[in-house]
Amino acid sequence: MQVKPRILITTQGWYYLFVVLFIVGGAIMREVNMLVILSGMLFGPLLLHWRLTISSLENLSFRRKFNNPTMAGVETRMEILLENHHRRWGSWFVQVHDRIRKVNQDSTAAASEIQLAVPFVFGSSVAKIPFTWDIAQRGIYEMGPLYIESRFPFGLVRARRTLRERESIIVCPQLGRLTPQWRRVIESDHHGLSGSFSRQGRSEGDYYAMRKWRSGDSTRWIHWRTTARLGELMVRQYEQQRDRAVGIVLDLSELTAEIPNADLNQQNHHAVVIEIAVSMVATIVNDLCSRNGSHFSLTIAGTSASHFSATPSQNVTRAVLESLAVVNPGNGEALRDSFQWLSHEGQQGMTVVIVSTRSKQQAITQLDQINNSATNVTQQDWSLQDALWIDCQNHLEVDRYFQPFEATNTTSAEQTPQQHDGQGDALEQPALSHVEAEISLATEEASH
């Protein structure tokens, strides 16, 4: 709900008013005509300013435009749309203030603020104010209150209109880069796991989408026309049926489950480990979806266990990433449920990868304490012994398969806000990966 402009006299305005009242008082009391003129010249602007400031804001409606969900580590482009409903009367130098803060389980983090401005909003037109949020952490973020403000022309009076509704945006985990070692794990018959898949080729499947060129892609897949248009290499991607199944387990456990009296540094370090684990799983899912159509089973052992078993599709990918966006570490016991689910739902001969925030030994010990036999969880032709256990506490082990991105490597072009009428289309997100492109395609609607 956009409320009516609220008017306040600024500090500068109070000083001005004080001087004006002093002169007006002197002019009235002493009746010096020249002072009376000066008083009028000083008092007039204040009244006019008050009226102009109100009218410049009361004809404006404003809203935020953004894609939901978005990715962490990628500059999330947003726009504030200011629509002037007045036929002719424009609004000068309108300032926009927006806030964003992460919504945590227990409390909310400190908010970040951005202040923007638009030089002029013509009558009967819409002004777009582009800006970006660089969000590093996954999670749910709350935006608002959004308010517009005007102090034009003299800065003596301030009018403000606030959009009280707060909007949420889901920030999916930051994606990293999988190493060639990881590819070897998935694509070869590693650790005695069996599986076969046909070679990817142009004629082997239906056209699925366009994506950016990656190292290793055949030059035959390059779609030259799109490449010329976008100025970067783009390749065709084909939907393929693969017979290799992958089972992924994300094991997130709290530090207190392992070290009851952990200090702050340890807690922070563990938080990084959790983020790396989540980011790695998100990257794996993204990779699986982008490379081929292999069936995968994902089970997340956080505060509780949640599971996904499907052939990759846009909706599944989105659901997985949204789920990963909000997952929190648990006491570690959910891993047992995850194993059980994987044992029942996982496909025969699948490659099982366990991404964990603890070592294999720690996990087995805990599971043994619960169930007296960790090995009981292995069914359906996979065993814990054969699974690839990636302990994210071990940086070397993580580095072997996964490289996180730097968060500050993207820039947004500074450009003049274009003004247009009518409702805008969905924002073009700078797609870093297949999944981001999918998200953009899947959420072509602006959040109002």
Between residues 174 and 347, which has the closer beta carbon with respect to other proteins?
Answer: 174
Is residue 431 classed as helix, strand or coil in its secondary structure? coil
How near is the Cβ of 27 to other proteins at its closest, in Å? Answer: 7
- Most distant pair of Cα atoms in the chain: their distance: 103
How near is the Cβ of 412 to other proteins at its closest, in Å? Answer: 6
Between residues 133 and 238, which has the closer beta carbon with respect to other proteins?
Answer: 133
C-alpha to C-alpha distance for 161 and 142, rounded to whole angstroms:
19
How near is the Cβ of 301 to other proteins at its closest, in Å? Answer: 20
Is residue 279 classed as helix, strand or coil in its secondary structure? helix
Between residues 44 and 180, which has the closer beta carbon with respect to other proteins?
Answer: 44
Between residues 74 and 364, which has the closer beta carbon with respect to other proteins?
Answer: 74
Strand partners, 171: 70, 139
How near is the Cβ of 48 to other proteins at its closest, in Å? Answer: 6
Going by C-alpha positions, the residue among 165, 168, 167, 169 that lies closest to residue 74 is: 169
Between residues 116 and 310, which has the closer beta carbon with respect to other proteins?
Answer: 116
Backbone angles phi, psi at 156, to 5 degrees: -90, -30
C-alpha to C-alpha distance for 170 and 139, rounded to whole angstroms:
6
- Give CA separation, 345 vs 164, 248, 330, 380, 440, in Å: 46, 12, 22, 9, 31
Between residues 117 and 233, which has the closer beta carbon with respect to other proteins?
Answer: 117
> What is the token pair recorded at 260?
């009851």
> What is the token pair recorded at 277?
């684990």
How near is the Cβ of 353 to other proteins at its closest, in Å? Answer: 20
How near is the Cβ of 243 to other proteins at its closest, in Å? Answer: 35
Q: How many CA atoms lie within 13 A of 363 on its CB side?
A: 30
Between residues 349 and 404, which has the closer beta carbon with respect to other proteins?
Answer: 404
Between residues 117 and 310, which has the closer beta carbon with respect to other proteins?
Answer: 117
Going by C-alpha positions, the residue among 271, 70, 330, 311 that lies closest to residue 174 is: 70
- For 186-229, the DSSP string reads HHS-GGG-----PPP-TTSSEEEEEEE--TT--GGGB-HHHHHH
How near is the Cβ of 122 to other proteins at its closest, in Å? Answer: 6
> What is the token pair recorded at 66?
């953004």
Q: Are strands 351-356 and 139-143 parallel, antiparallel or unpaired?
A: unpaired
- CB neighbours of 395 closer than 8 A, spacing ≥ 6? none
